[in-house]
């Protein structure tokens, strides 16, 4: 069974983070910052919504800040796995 949990970009268009879980695999699709109104930006300071040390990968859909800007935080919290994206996306976040 596959489970998808929305940790951002729900009821707003910013802060994209989707946790996809299947069997023993956990992948974060997008890792974005919340932008815009202060009430949205304050969400960036809340605890990270999942244990990043249990993720097998991060997959980025594109290189906008609201899809990639949270990457430094999860790395600081211990994520050391691969980050996948298209070559154009990877060129923009390197």
What angle is formed at CA 45 by the lines to CA 40 and CA 48, rounded to 5 degrees? 105
**Has residue 91 got a pLDDT over 90?**
no
Tens of pLDDT, residues 18-61: 999 999 999 999 999 999 999 999 999 999 999 999 999 999 99
**Tokens (6 digits) for 7:** 């940790």
Q: Which residues of 17-26 are buried (b: 16+ CB within 10 A; e: fewer)?
A: bbbeeeeeeb
Q: Where do the domains of the chain lie?
A: 2-93
- This prediction has a pTM of 0.91
Return the SS3 of 37. coil
Query: Whole-angstrom Cα distance, residue 34 to residue 91?
Result: 22
The answer on pLDDT for 10 being more than 90 is no
Is CATH 3.40.50.300 the classification given to domain 2-93?
A: no
């Amino acid at each position: 069974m596959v489970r998808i949990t929305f940790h951002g970009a729900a009821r707003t268009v910013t802060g994209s983070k989707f946790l996809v879980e299947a069997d023993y695999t956990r992948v974060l699709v997008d890792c974005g910052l919340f932008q815009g109104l202060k009430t949205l930006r304050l969400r960036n300071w809340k605890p990270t919504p999942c244990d990043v040390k249990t993720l097998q990968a991060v997959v980025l859909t594109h290189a906008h800040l609201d899809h990639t800007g949270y990457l430094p935080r999860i790395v600081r919290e211990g994520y050391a796995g691969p980050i996948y994206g298209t070559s154009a996306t990877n060129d923009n976040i390197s």
